[in-house]
Amino acid sequence: MDKILRIDMGAEAGPKVTEEPLGVYAGFGGRALTSAVVSKEVPPLCHPLGAENKLVIAPGLLSGTIASMSGRLSVGCKSPLTGGIKESNAGGQGAQVLARMGYAAIVLEGKPEKDDLYKIVINGDGVKISVDNSLRMLPNYDLVDRMKQQHGEKITCISIGPAGEMKMSAASIAVTDMELRPTRHAGRGGVGAVMGAKCVKVIVLDDTGMKMRAPKDPEKYKEANKRWVEGLKKHPVTGQGLPAYGTNVLTNVLNEAGGYPTYNFKQGRFDGASKISGETQAETETARGGLATHGCHRGCVIQCSGTFNDKDGHFLTKQPEYETVWSHGGQCGICDLDAIAQMDFMEDNYGLDTIEMGVALGVAMEGGLLKFGDAQGAIGLLEEVGKGTPVGRILGNGAAVTGKVFGVERVPVVKGQALPAYDPRAVQGIGVTYATSTMGADHTAGYAVATNILGVGGKVDPLKPEGQVELSRNLQIATAAIDATGMCLFIAFAVLDQPETFQALLDLLNAFYGLNLTADGVVTLGKTILTMERDFNAKAGFTSEHDRLPQFFKTEKVPPHNVVFEVKDEDLDKVFNW
């Protein structure tokens, strides 16, 4: 993983391929690498869909090795949704395969003059780029079937659906899973639209004959991985809770806490929550012959995913995540798991971010386009998005655009990006992260619950807003660093409670690269990433005014606790003081 593959899609004689060593980007992987390339090479004021923007696809530092959980693939660019820097990551096979092929990143640059659609095939023979307009407007599942017919079953696909081709701001980039299904998505920020603007429909990877990446110290690496896996397996969250129920296990808990945004953030509890909870979902999956415990890529020991079959026992979609179930469930007042699974499938197929789309549907419901709870109406609107009708294009450009078009005041977005499934009035600390993240409202931006182990920050007074600001800062630093490793963020729970498991992670990095990294080094890496991202956003025109939640969170009390967001603006402005 010592080279960068650059493809200039706008070269005069057609797409031009160059390979170069990592150079100034040595030591970076995943989000660190995507954000470094974007902040150094993309003009912050460029149009996100223009030739000057770049799409960077990078596996993490430990991807392609035997290290368990190391399969996150980062995708970076200037976001058409937020107008700022973006890193969106996905599971699936992409990171492992790309890393084994020796690539630290693929960078798509420029823009073709004509609107031909391209297919890029990368295998042991090199890189082949061809025009294939027969792929136009193919949904992801059909596209992958076509690729299987053409290139066999041993491939991995990174692709866009019709939404990406139509350059919608909610368009995702799909990555195939172990079963060669396009179920894993770099969903947030409209990265699929940038791939669409580069006129690339699919990147087909075939790593046949390529070996695992070799660590500097293989024995130490093997031993550290053993401790790593043991740590993950013995922890109740990573060893039991997540495998049994997946992330949707949070529905009942958030609902009980009154922090489950319902009817477009009008209330914090949803009457139908138990009908769509992780417990009910797992029971339904098992009863229909699906799987409640499954990995999204080889080498995952937590296995938070699963397969959701329809009533006749046929595969419908992968197990919908908590965020997806919420955005189409509580947010839209829908308590029908089958309808939610159907929408999850449609969004994977059209290539759309499930959070952005669910929130946009809820905003459209508030705007009177359809009634809350109307599952069939919501499915009908998604069909319009896939077809690109005028209403479909409005929704496909996200919650902010939808709110503007339908005259809705309560539009839950920060920097243009829809809020995820936790009401920031009930859990104010996460509101700080939503407001200040470089990515727009993003729960995963402050997800790495490992700050105590990392030793970042000092003493926090639980009852003061400064405490929440400080915790959010430390969480964002820790998360940025983990995003660079290629590790799935769900490792954080085992790392939080078990210092020896955190040490195993450090030992993996050190044994692989021959380093002497300590917790301090991890903190420095996290700060470096955030600093690059903040600088880019500042040059793109972002000020402290953009680090705010929408006004209604400060003025509308959310039942049942009847609280508003109380963290002061001047405290939000301190998040990045270090």
Contact status: 56 vs another protein (CB under 8 A): no
Question: Pick from 92, 93, 115, 94: which is nearest to 106 by CA?
Answer: 94
Of the pair 176, 468, the CB lying nearest another protein is at 468
- Quick one: 21 exposed, middle or buried, by C-beta within 10 A (0-12, 13-18, 19+)? exposed
Among residues 221, 350, 447, 512, the one that binds another protein under rule CB under 8 A: 447
**What single-letter DSSP state applies at residue 394?**
H
Q: What part of residues 150-189 is at the interface with another protein (CB under 8 A)?
A: none
Q: Which helix (H) or strand (E) holds 173?
A: strand 173-175
Tokens encoding 573 = 């402005």
Among residues 18, 130, 150, 240, the one that binds another protein under rule CB under 8 A: 240
In whole angstroms, what is the distance from residue 356 CA to residue 361 CA? 9
Residue 413 binding target from ligand SF4, another protein, none, CB below 5 to 8 Å by type: none
> Is 343:332 a contact under the CB 8 Å cutoff?
no
Tokens encoding 383 = 């069909």
Question: Pick from 556, 260, 304: which is nearest to 421 by CA?
Answer: 260
Contact status: 561 vs another protein (CB under 8 A): yes
Terminus-to-terminus CA distance in the chain, angstroms?
Answer: 32
Q: What part of residues 70-129 is at the interface with ligand SF4 (CB under 6 A)?
A: 71, 91
Q: Which residue matches tokens 């490792």? A: 491
Instruction: Find the shortest distance in angstroms from Cβ 292 to another protein.
Output: 11
Q: Which residue matches tokens 């969250």? A: 237
Among residues 113, 338, 383, 461, the one that binds another protein under rule CB under 8 A: 461
In whole angstroms, what is the distance from residue 14 CA to residue 7 CA? 10
Instruction: Find the shortest distance in angstroms from Cβ 270 to another protein.
Output: 12
Question: Pick from 484, 492, 486: which is nearest to 449 by CA?
Answer: 492
In whole angstroms, what is the distance from residue 506 CA to residue 487 CA? 12
In whole angstroms, what is the distance from residue 53 CA to residue 47 CA? 7
The dihedral formed by the CA atoms of 17, 18, 19 and 25, expressed in degrees to the nearest 10 = -110
Contact status: 243 vs ligand SF4 (CB under 6 A): no
Residue 303 binding target from another protein, ligand SF4, none, CB below 5 to 8 Å by type: ligand SF4
Of the pair 98, 471, the CB lying nearest ligand SF4 is at 98
- Quick one: 364 exposed, middle or buried, by C-beta within 10 A (0-12, 13-18, 19+)? buried
Strand boundaries in 267-304, DSSP class E: 291-294
Tokens encoding 216 = 């500097």
Residues for the chain: how many in total?
Answer: 578
Dihedral pair phi/psi, residue 450, rounded to 5° = -135, 15
> Which segment (121-129, 176-184, 254-262, 535-543) binds another protein by CB under 8 A?
254-262
Among residues 247, 262, 417, 437, the one that binds another protein under rule CB under 8 A: 247
In whole angstroms, what is the distance from residue 342 CA to residue 324 CA? 11
Tokens encoding 484 = 């660079």
Tokens encoding 167 = 């350059």
Amino acid at 325: V
> Which segment (151-159, 300-308, 502-510, 542-550) binds ligand SF4 by CB under 6 A?
300-308
Instruction: Find the shortest distance in angstroms from Cβ 247 to ligand SF4.
Output: 8
Residue 256 binding target from another protein, ligand SF4, none, CB below 5 to 8 Å by type: another protein
Quick note: the x/- pattern for another protein over 418-437, rule CB under 8 A, is ----x--xxxxxx-------
Residue 296 binding target from ligand SF4, another protein, none, CB below 5 to 8 Å by type: ligand SF4
> Which segment (142-150, 163-171, 239-247, 502-510) binds another protein by CB under 8 A?
239-247
Instruction: Find the shortest distance in angstroms from Cβ 252 to another protein.
Output: 5
Contact status: 390 vs another protein (CB under 8 A): no
Contact status: 277 vs another protein (CB under 8 A): yes
Among residues 158, 488, 495, 504, the one that binds ligand SF4 under rule CB under 6 A: 488
Contact status: 367 vs ligand SF4 (CB under 6 A): no
Question: Pick from 391, 412, 436, 401: which is nearest to 571 by CA?
Answer: 436
Residue 426 binding target from ligand SF4, another protein, none, CB below 5 to 8 Å by type: another protein
Contact status: 58 vs ligand SF4 (CB under 6 A): no
Q: What part of residues 308-347 is at the interface with another protein (CB under 8 A)?
A: 322
Residue 36 binding target from another protein, ligand SF4, none, CB below 5 to 8 Å by type: none
Give CA angle at 281 (277, 286), nearest 5°: 155
Question: Pick from 173, 176, 172: which is nearest to 206 by CA?
Answer: 176
Contact status: 300 vs ligand SF4 (CB under 6 A): yes
**What single-letter DSSP state applies at residue 211?**
P
> Which segment (293-301, 430-438, 444-452, 565-573) binds ligand SF4 by CB under 6 A?
293-301
> Which segment (150-158, 295-303, 309-317, 369-377) binds ligand SF4 by CB under 6 A?
295-303
| Contact set with ligand SF4 (CB under 6 A) | 69, 71, 91, 295-297, 300, 302-305, 488, 490
**Which residues sit at the interface with another protein, rule CB under 8 A?**
236-238, 240-242, 244-245, 247, 249-250, 252-254, 256-259, 269, 273-275, 277-280, 283, 286-287, 304, 322, 422, 425-430, 443, 446-447, 449, 451-452, 460-463, 467-468, 471, 475, 490, 493, 496, 560-561, 563, 566
